[in-house]
Structure 1
Amino acid sequence: MFIRIMSKRRTWAFLFVSVYSLLLSSSWNLLKSVLSWYDSSASNSGNAFGWPALYASVALGAIFGLLAMAAALAVAVPATLMTWITVLVLLTFCGKPRKALVVEGKKLTGEISRLVLRVLIREGKFVAAVCAVLGYFALVRNIKES
């Protein structure tokens, strides 16, 4: 019965939506807590340009970087799977024996997984850095105006 339930497309779509809604709600709460911490520490110390703004902007950048990696993962997994299947089918049509196909499949799985992981980490770091810099300037500007 479990296998029958898990083989349905609706089940996987429901799990996908549930996980991402949980991720978004928890990250939203984390963002609100970082901003409230920054407001309290900046108002207590009176130094809006120093360490509190830097800490808060790095935390915001890390949160947005992780969210970007999660969003990219949602796109990368199906694309990776289609690439892997396509290459294996092409190798089969080229006349590779079954044992060689298994060996090539294991190699392909490792290479494709490493490539996807490297791209995800690179994109996540880039988004985190951009969001940290923009967050710092936004936090400093917000305190200047108030």
Structure 2
Amino acid sequence: MHAGTYARWLIPSIFPHGILQCQIGFLQTQKFLNPLIISTSFRSLIHVLACWLLVFRFEFGNEGAALSIAISYWINVLIFSAYIKLSPSCKMTWNGFSREGLRNLFSSVSLAIPSALMVCLEMWSYEILVLMSGFLPNPKLETSMMSISRPVSSLNTSSVIFRIPYGFGSAVSTRVSNELGAGKHRAAQVAARVVLFLAVVEGLLVGLVSIAVRDVWGYLYTTKGEVVRYMSAIMPVLVLSNYMDGIQGVLSVAAALLLLAVLIVLAVRTTIVTWITVLVLLAFAGNRRRVLVKNGRRITLDVAMHLATVFTKERGIAAVAACVTVASLIAMASLRKLV
């Protein structure tokens, strides 16, 4: 009931969020980072104040928390609108609204709809996991763990960790697009490789820190010892998940430049699809049967090798099989302790 009420009060934040993403993209492509940092920092302060006033001062409860998000988004939209309109830096790139903006509307929409569906499917998959966790033997514990660990809200473990590679991806997206627009394909490839290296190093460092603090990390969200111990137990698997998620998030931007990027993203998708099926069976089949795990490993390996064969024939890359197989086996090895 409370979740439904909170979701309804989140509806007003959809409209400013859409406008805000367009403004952020407009400024990022021109490397106007200082306005983004300053405005976002100011919005964060306003959000804390608005949330406190609506939740505690005016006693709106969950509705006030949801409404404060819309307020902070609109403030950010107004700040960006004023900057784009009044700043001399944007005079050459923003001349107001025009019918010329509708000239390539069909091609833009044809690209936007699949992109939106891709994001929706990704987020819906996490929501489905939360719903499924409610059918497990201890639904309160499982649901609490899902809300803390997986990206079903903006302040949990995976969402906080993903902000770093997400920033890398945004940066390389701007850099690559600028280099390609200037006809510098070699520079675009170098930028993609650099951000891949940064993502790998960042993932390893964050993973080591997460493992080191796994026994106390749960106390940031709850004081219940059972939830904290459960969080500590699944942290190694969560670290691997976040590591792969961060790398494929960065590589998705550079996939057009590096065939290796396409292969790793493909390997991650292959592993996710097969292991979601296997783990659902493990969770709801009654007992955790090792035969299911063996079948899951075999299916993952077969699918990965089939895709590697296809890519090898089509692209002539002999290292594809190793890339796909290693990525799949890493995920399988990490989940071995769960059974």
TM-score (norm 2): 0.21
Per residue, is there more helix in 1 or in 2?
1
Question: Of the two structures, which has the highest relative contact order with CA contacts closer than 8 Å and spacing of 6 or more?
Answer: 1
